[in-house]
Structure 1
Amino acid sequence: MTSSAPRRGLRGRRAECGALAEVIAGARSGQGQVLVLRGEAGVGKSVLTEYLVASATGCQILRAVGVESEMELAYAGLHQLCVPLMGSLDRIPVPQRAALAVAFGLSAGSAPDRFLVGLAVLSLLAEASEEQPIVCVVDDAQWLDQVSAQTLSFVARRLLAERVALVFAVRVPTPDASGDHFGGLREIVVRGLHDDDARALLESVVPGRLDEHVRDRIVAETRGNPLALLELTRGLSAAELAGGFGRPDTRPLASQIEESYLRRIGSLPAAAQRLLLAAAAEPLGDAPLLRRVAERLDIAPDAAVAAEAAGLIEFGTRVRFRHPLVRSAAYRGADPTVRRDVHRALAEATDAVLDSDRQAWHRAHAALDPDEELAAELERSAGRAEARGGIAAAAAFLRRATELTPDSERRATRAAAAAQAAFAAGSPDAALELLAAARLSRPDEAQQARQTWLRAQIVFARRRGGQALPLLLDAAGRLARVDGAQAREAYLDAIGAAVFAGRLPDHVDVREVAEAARTAPPGARPPRPSDLLLDALVTWFADGCVRGAPPLRAALSAFRQASGADGDDVMRWLWLTWLAAGDLWDDETWYELTTHAVRSARDAGALNFLPLALGYRAAMHVHAGDFGLAAMLVGEADSIMEVTGHSPMSYPALLLMAWSGDPRAETVIRSGIEEAVSWGEGRAIGLGHYLLSVLYNGFGRYQDALAHGEQVLEYEDMSVVGFALAEVVESAVRSGVHETAAVALRRLEERAGASDTDWALGVLARSRALLSDGPEAERWYREAVDRLGRSRIAVQLARTHLLYGEWLRRENRRVDARQHLRTAHEALRGFGAVAFAERARRELVATGETLRPRQVDTGGVREVLTAQEGQIARLAADGMTNSEIGAALFISPRTVEWHLGKVFTKLDVKSRNKLRAALPDV
């Protein structure tokens, strides 16, 4: 690439060069830019990134290259990119600084959440870009280690108002690719050159006159791939091209190009080949290190001259290959014995203090026979990698340690640990393979039990249905003989699996699982919250809600108390405690656990857990009538799950749609049921029918509401049946099926009585009122209003006013009816419960009150602000600084400032101290 290339552009790349120019201009103007250049090997992505670098005058250039042999070393790629910015580390918030320092091995500490590291990188880029626009170029991003790829993907999705550009060059994924971390980002597919440009390029490198038919055949076979045009014809005459190039060949183009490099490497002196191999095995481009390795391998300086003269590599302040395929060819084409010798020399030349893990990695690749000392060192490296949050790297170290372990028993232990790490890193297939290896080593009973539990957890993670249940029960039974505490956790997992499997055919009923869990060893003394939860759920499912409610209340109380100390235990079991609190109509536990969960997840930067916490918190706000805030939390959770690639948590959004009376809700809920059932979550069937019952009761379609409510009652789905009973009572009474309503009421009386919360007893009193007449009905309605008014469940209080008003109108007490109907209408309209509000409006009109239809206000300013603007406005109104808001919402302070500018404009305020008045309901 010459210095004039940016002005001239590249042959056949006008559109791509224009897009890159826009990226640079956007970064310079303070509009964060992201672009993915995607294409096959050799199509010109690297040339385009070089064009970008040459064009970005006045910008700081940060570079990283994904290296296949480094894919399992955590943060390797990210470290390449961020090293030039380490001088700005003290300018970012302390928690972020500490997380990044641990991730890069600069200090010791507990494993940082990888997305807190991502926020640190975002802050680091934002701070450094204040001085000079930054252009980050990541070539061969498909070979980044998993943690670096996820972190950079997170950063890319958070760039907005920073003077930063991120450009990734990525190969087109193969069908068996493990994942594409850069999907969904703005991208350009880089294709082969058009025929005219390809012909011109070919003729510029082929000596002499090229036969027209041969030329066209080459262009067609290479599909305009520039590297193929340049490399596959290098050194061949026109006659040679005419004589053999056109043979049919089904090998992938990348393989053909790599073979051309293999031929060129093979023509070099042996010393130059070894030097290329050493450079390929050392991915950081560390020139001093490579010189030390060359000395150890007795490679003379003229070897570098020969390699450079062949146009394969450049030796400067950093060592750079002409193309990543040169690196692949140099490494893969080497003799295994020579490769081990090179790794041994790299290990000897690597600083054992500053880079002990990379030294161990090279030693592992140099080893041929089992070596306990080396296996132990790899195990220690795995521990250090895990402490830095590099669980994938830990799995890789442990896997190689397993292979080098001579003792069969110790090999089984390490294989199981590698399997656990691989599962935690999101590689279930690798975990199952390692578990199989662990079993070959004749594990003892304790090892077998833990391996069975891990296998069951993998199956449950893949499909929440009953497939995991027999495995979980088997694991729990095995663990009971060797580790009582783990056995109890396995039984708790089994109960959870049975709950989620629900009414799917051929599953183990949750009552059977509860009976099996009775055989669990006694819990610790004093009992852990999870011990209390297991015993309580066993009683609840095996003996019924009346006997199960007291111990379940005690268990939930223990979790509420633990939320101030043992946050990990609270997070670990939130998926079950949330459901248990729902079965007990325990809104205070919902509030306290979700308050703790969201706060802890934000503080820790735990983005893998935060969406779950936000979703449950959003559901609580729906019940509390704060639909606007619920929508904000759902939006935040969705954006995080998009970044992390986690499966969407649909329930809070569907709950919001059902209560809002959204016309699309019926279709979306039915689709959600089908999707959840397809991957084994049978509980979604009952949940979907409950949501449809709420929806239809809002619309006044009582027979439809009754039909769906009755389907809920066919199975004891956790945290669904109690709520559905109230819907059935109302819809059955309105449909004139009083016997059905009475049966449902009797079941509701048992459950609500066992719960004994104001929420439960308030809904029970309202349901009794629906089946009563005269003074008795009024007494029940008044009790319902009183009890629900003491709870957090505002939607049920508003519905009670609606039903009370409807009853009063039918009693010809129009004045009294108007009072309750107005209360219901104003509350429901304010919540955004469109259908229920319309029911209240119609009833008010029927009393003779003049009331024009009005568009439902879903929360005032929340219709004006976007979800993220609303979140930022609320936090700013609470007095948080831009840095604190950025840390809470995983964006940069500069982006917070940009959003606040829009908030001030929309709300017509001039400063932060005016925000609270403009947001009266937050």
Structure 2
Amino acid sequence: MAHEAGYRLRIAAPPEIGRHVHVIGRDSQFGQLTDLLDAARRGNGSSALVHGEAGIGKSALVSAVVEAASSSGFAVLSCHGIPGSGAAGFEGLHELLLPLLGRVDALPPRQRTALDVAFGAEGEPADRLVTGLAALGLLEEAAARGPVVVLIEDLHWLDRSTADIITFLAARMGVIPALLLATSRTDRAYPDRTAHFKHHVPLDPLDQHDALALVASHAPELTPLQRRRLVERALGNPLALTEWASIPSWVEGTFSGGRGPVPVSQRLEDSFLAEVALLPRATRRALLVAAAGQDASSYEVLAAARSLGLDPRDFTPAEAFGLITLVNGSYRFRHPLVCSAVYDNADSDARSRVHTELAAVVVDAARAVRHRAAAAAGWSEEVAAELEGLAVAAGRRGARTEAAAAWRRAAALTPVAAERARRTVMAAEAARQAGATVDAATLLAEARPIVEDEASVVQLARTEWMLASTSTTLPDRSGDELVALSRTLKDPDDRVEVLTWAAVRGYTRQDIPADVMAAVADELRRPGLAVTEHQQLLQSIGLALIGSADRIASVEKALSIFHRQVRETDATLLNCLAFAVEDTHDLAAAARVWSAEVDMFHRSARVSDETVALAGRGTARVTGNAIAAGLADCEHALRLSSDLDLSVVGAIAAADIARARAWRGEHDLATAALKTCAELSGLTPFARVAASASWASAQMAANDGQPEEAIPHLLKCVAHPPIGLWAGADLADAAVHAGWPDVVDGWLEMATAALATSDSDHLAMLVERSRALLAPGEEARAHFERAITRGERSIAHLDLARTRLFFGEWLRRERHIVEARGQLSAALHVFEAHHAMPLARRTARELAAAGGVQRTQPAPSVDAGAVLTAQELHIARLAAEGQTNRQIADQLYLSHRTVGAHLYSAYAKLRINRRSQLATALAATPA
């Protein structure tokens, strides 16, 4: 790692920043940005994107702002985009963070490792979230010494991996005294990143008054008539105004192009070309070398020029004209439009020769391959193979967008169709890993008609399946298509895997016809299909999901098989294992599987897979009554899914957050979570998501005393058995109060059938409780007592308390008052401890009617579960266990200073002032 390279923080200056600076026509924008600097100095960091067409004055404005910031004590960090650069990824990030790398040891270990790998060290690549947190941590370290301005010039030309990190940072600058200031063009050719920035500063053309003032300051020798002509032609573009002021044809109005429909940027390029045309031929060729080699050093550019028969002195006329300047060992053009004019107007043969010579002299291997690819005019297996190597290397560093681009270019240069298909499939998988869902789908569509070899066929299907698993916008293969695919495969591993995908698709979507699922089961049972332990495990997972009598023999043995080697696709298969265990109605065992996934993927920095596992564990925990722990999991998963663009995962997490909030009676928070769930679900939500959301809606209706509204929601849940089996247990209470007892029959039949192959005490309690609520007279007692006996063997404390509540209500109606008090008091204690306030109030009313005392023990002075947010409570628990801020940051994907801020807030809410007091303050709050 490099050291700080002269980075220094200056003493803070007066609060009024840069008020003496004047940028013609941009006073309001300059004032807006300097106000943000003032706010950053006070600790209110932010981000701003200055955007507009080429030549509109973005660089001039931000240069003035940065100058004002620097002169008033801000440290400045910067990087800039270069057209065509970034083949290996993270070059811009390295430029930005280079002055801070001496402080990398301050980061949590996994974040430090992620940054090391991104910059070329050996190791497992991390998801971009971890790398982004590492960058944020370094900026926090810098800002701890004084305010910082982070300048990103030409964001649209940064390598995509760096640009993704910049947009990640832009959304999080509020936590540090810093302003992230970026410039970008508004052309449709570039990604629109405005949504990630808190403030937008669009630059429009100057009005006539300001345009005349700019021309007067730049070319005072022009007459008023000449200035007006120039202003009329420049259409308010500052670069055009200043450049054309020295061109007689533009000033005198004799330019042949006239106004016309041609964009200003094109006319600027034409004027630059006219200027270039005045140079000697050798100098024009030298400019082309500099334009093609913008990512190269001046030494490399000069070496390539020599190979083309040029002399270093051939660059001198261009420097004298001010078209290029030597800055820090690299040639820089006066404006990017000069560069594009030179490069775009050269013929393809000339560009190819220049790229060939640059490839021969540039030191960096990735840039050399890029130049060789740019020089290639047709198919070239040699260059394609080099690009494949570049793609693999970029992927190892976590630069998955660059890896996808290299794979795609390699495919375009590949002469053999089968190899071209393979590389296109790999491009699609790299794009999927990069989060470029649309690109991945497009590449899959390109590869599908030409793919031949089995390995590529299976990889295409895997990528397709994993895309569809995390996005509601992409279609996936039907069950019968997956069965047909499995029959064409020779490798038993591939066949079992594809059939398992078919089973899990049917399980999660609940839309595959019974005959197709039967065909899947028949294929899975085919003699000799599964021989190895891994194959047999997948076979048993698939059969369990289909709903056959087959069950997972040993969860621990199954996990040990996966632990031996975790492949990219095993994330999906581990999820299948968790679903299969859930289907045995053992929620605790399912949570163990999800926890094993969380740990496994956390260690390997596979954050997307970890997010899926967190959401899965959250579902199991909320359903299994571990409300606080489940809420923490789901809120964590929702936050990460937003960062990683995993809409389906976010929708699942939001639905379960709504369920947890409904348990607690937090109506507004539950409603907000359901709204988030609907937004993330799209037009066709997954059946699992829709069922969980309906369950939350039913709980909210029940809280409001509206059983008639709750029942339709619960019946929707029952249509999706994996969720409906548990949700349907709420039907009996609502049905009795609504006077519709018959609606429970379907669920009771389903649950009774499930119990025939399960020894789940939790499910048995729910079935017996439902029968008790529907039973006449004294028949109810036996069912209630059996329900409580089974419930006491489970860890479903809230459902057991609800059973006691219902039993207590029945006992009071039957005049067994003393017995009723005992059941109601026990229920009330649990509801209050878990903050299940709607049920606590209902129980308290019933207990009061029975003449009982409502509180069995004094309430804690401060209830941590009530005053802390889910994230604050999670962080506080980890801190109470002895974890440091950096360890917690690694665990929760936060910066360590953000963890410190959350703890500081928790201390204040808990009325404590030391870490050692946390354990006591949290003791009364259930997990």
Q: Deviations over 1:840-867 (max 9, x none)?
A: 2332343345869xxx999923443444
1:64 aligns with 2:70: no
Question: By how many angstroms is 1:139 displaced?
Answer: 1.1
Q: Deviations over 1:777-816 (max 9, x none)?
A: 3333233233333333233122112111111111112222
Q: Deviations over 1:862-913 (max 9, x none)?
A: 4434444333322222212222222223333333334433333333322211
| Match in the other structure for 1:20 | 33
Task: State the one-letter code of the partner of 2:707.
Answer: Y
| Match in the other structure for 2:272 | 261
1:321 aligns with 2:320: no
Does the aligned pair in 2 maintain the 1:495–1:514 contact within 8 Å?
no
| Match in the other structure for 2:65 | 52
| Match in the other structure for 1:806 | 809
Task: State the one-letter code of the partner of 1:878.
Answer: E
1:104 aligns with 2:127: no
Q: Which stretch of structure 1 is more off in the superposition, 879-888 or 894-903?
A: 894-903
| Match in the other structure for 1:875 | 878
Does the aligned pair in 2 maintain the 1:460–1:468 contact within 8 Å?
no
Does the aligned pair in 1 maintain the 2:504–2:545 contact within 8 Å?
no
| Among 292, 299, 304, the residue aligned to 2:315 | 304
| Among 145, 168, 188, the residue aligned to 2:182 | 168
Alignment partners' CA distance in 2, 1:821 and 1:538: 43
Question: By how many angstroms is 1:164 displaced?
Answer: 4.4
Q: Deviations over 1:279-306 (max 9, x none)?
A: 3333446333333333333333344333
Distance 1:205 1:72, change over 3 A: same
| Match in the other structure for 2:90 | 75
Does the aligned pair in 1 maintain the 2:167–2:197 contact within 8 Å?
no
Alignment partners' CA distance in 2, 1:151 and 1:358: 21
Task: State the one-letter code of the partner of 2:310.
Answer: I
Alignment partners' CA distance in 1, 2:147 and 2:314: 39
| Match in the other structure for 1:706 | 711
SS at match of 2:408: helix
Question: By how many angstroms is 1:681 displaced?
Answer: 2.6
| Match in the other structure for 2:10 | none
Distance 1:835 1:30, change over 3 A: closer
| Match in the other structure for 1:597 | 597
Once the two structures are superposed, the pairs formed by residues 375-390 of structure 1 within 5 Å of their partners are 375-390=384-399
Alignment partners' CA distance in 2, 1:316 and 1:675: 48
Distance 1:891 1:255, change over 3 A: farther
| Among 472, 483, 489, the residue aligned to 1:481 | 489
| Match in the other structure for 1:192 | 205
Distance 1:451 1:526, change over 3 A: closer
Alignment partners' CA distance in 1, 2:215 and 2:288: 30
1:836 aligns with 2:827: no
| Match in the other structure for 1:823 | 826
Output the TM-score relative to the length of structure 2: 0.87
Once the two structures are superposed, the pairs formed by residues 523-534 of structure 1 within 5 Å of their partners are 524-528=530-534, 531-534=536-539
Question: By how many angstroms is 1:331 displaced?
Answer: 2.7
Q: Which runs of 5+ in 2 are unaligned?
A: 1-16
| Match in the other structure for 1:513 | 517
Question: By how many angstroms is 1:180 displaced?
Answer: 2.6
Task: State the one-letter code of the partner of 2:873.
Answer: G
Once the two structures are superposed, the pairs formed by residues 283-294 of structure 1 within 5 Å of their partners are 283-284=294-295, 286-294=297-305
Does the aligned pair in 2 maintain the 1:65–1:140 contact within 8 Å?
yes
Task: State the one-letter code of the partner of 1:696.
Answer: A
SS at match of 1:135: strand
Distance 1:53 1:210, change over 3 A: same
Q: Which runs of 5+ in 1 are unaligned?
A: none
Does the aligned pair in 1 maintain the 2:805–2:823 contact within 8 Å?
yes
Question: By how many angstroms is 1:644 displaced?
Answer: 2.8
1:424 aligns with 2:433: yes
| Match in the other structure for 1:235 | 247
| Match in the other structure for 2:5 | none
SS at match of 1:68: coil
Does the aligned pair in 2 maintain the 1:61–1:136 contact within 8 Å?
yes
Q: Deviations over 1:579-637 (max 9, x none)?
A: 43443321212331333333344444433234333333333443455545544444433
| Match in the other structure for 1:8 | 21
| Match in the other structure for 1:914 | 917
1:642 aligns with 2:639: no
Question: By how many angstroms is 1:317 displaced?
Answer: 1.3
SS at match of 1:227: helix
Does the aligned pair in 2 maintain the 1:102–1:388 contact within 8 Å?
yes
Does the aligned pair in 2 maintain the 1:46–1:169 contact within 8 Å?
yes
Once the two structures are superposed, the pairs formed by residues 725-740 of structure 1 within 5 Å of their partners are 725-740=728-743
| Match in the other structure for 2:573 | 573
| Match in the other structure for 2:659 | 655
| Match in the other structure for 2:750 | 747
Distance 1:357 1:467, change over 3 A: closer
Distance 1:759 1:292, change over 3 A: same
Does the aligned pair in 2 maintain the 1:38–1:188 contact within 8 Å?
yes
1:332 aligns with 2:340: no
SS at match of 1:754: coil
Once the two structures are superposed, the pairs formed by residues 618-697 of structure 1 within 5 Å of their partners are 618-623=618-623, 625=625, 627-647=627-647, 648-649=650-651, 650-663=654-667, 669=674, 672=677, 676=681, 678-679=683-684, 681-697=686-702
Question: By how many angstroms is 1:457 displaced?
Answer: 5.3
Task: State the one-letter code of the partner of 1:571.
Answer: A
Task: State the one-letter code of the partner of 1:63.
Answer: S
SS at match of 2:478: helix
Alignment partners' CA distance in 2, 1:404 and 1:321: 31
| Match in the other structure for 1:37 | 50
Task: State the one-letter code of the partner of 1:17.
Answer: F
Task: State the one-letter code of the partner of 2:386.
Answer: E
Alignment partners' CA distance in 1, 2:676 and 2:905: 36
Q: Which stretch of structure 1 is more off in the superposition, 690-699 or 566-575?
A: 566-575
Q: Deviations over 1:622-671 (max 9, x none)?
A: 34555455444444333333333332333222322443444455797488
SS at match of 1:46: helix
1:720 aligns with 2:736: no
Task: State the one-letter code of the partner of 2:657.
Answer: A
Does the aligned pair in 1 maintain the 2:400–2:433 contact within 8 Å?
yes
| Match in the other structure for 1:493 | 501
Q: Which stretch of structure 1 is more off in the superposition, 565-574 or 64-73?
A: 565-574
Alignment partners' CA distance in 2, 1:830 and 1:859: 13
Question: By how many angstroms is 1:340 displaced?
Answer: 1.4
Alignment partners' CA distance in 1, 2:544 and 2:866: 46
Distance 1:239 1:129, change over 3 A: closer
Q: Which stretch of structure 1 is more off in the superposition, 699-708 or 804-813?
A: 699-708
Does the aligned pair in 2 maintain the 1:116–1:606 contact within 8 Å?
no
SS at match of 1:608: helix
Alignment partners' CA distance in 2, 1:397 and 1:463: 28
Q: Deviations over 1:68-110 (max 9, x none)?
A: 31255321221222233344444544433332222222x2233
Distance 1:43 1:328, change over 3 A: same
1:137 aligns with 2:151: yes
Once the two structures are superposed, the pairs formed by residues 430-441 of structure 1 within 5 Å of their partners are 430-431=439-440, 434-435=443-444, 438=447
Question: By how many angstroms is 1:678 displaced?
Answer: 0.9
Alignment partners' CA distance in 2, 1:781 and 1:557: 34
Question: By how many angstroms is 1:145 displaced?
Answer: 2.4
Alignment partners' CA distance in 1, 2:22 and 2:91: 33
SS at match of 1:519: helix
1:617 aligns with 2:617: yes
Does the aligned pair in 2 maintain the 1:725–1:747 contact within 8 Å?
no
Does the aligned pair in 2 maintain the 1:659–1:694 contact within 8 Å?
yes
Alignment partners' CA distance in 2, 1:537 and 1:531: 10
Alignment partners' CA distance in 2, 1:590 and 1:904: 34
Alignment partners' CA distance in 2, 1:599 and 1:444: 35
| Match in the other structure for 2:7 | none
| Among 343, 361, 368, the residue aligned to 1:349 | 361
Once the two structures are superposed, the pairs formed by residues 890-909 of structure 1 within 5 Å of their partners are 890-909=893-912
Question: By how many angstroms is 1:914 displaced?
Answer: 1.2
Question: By how many angstroms is 1:169 displaced?
Answer: 1.4
Q: Deviations over 1:692-730 (max 9, x none)?
A: 3333344443333333333444x3x24123113322333
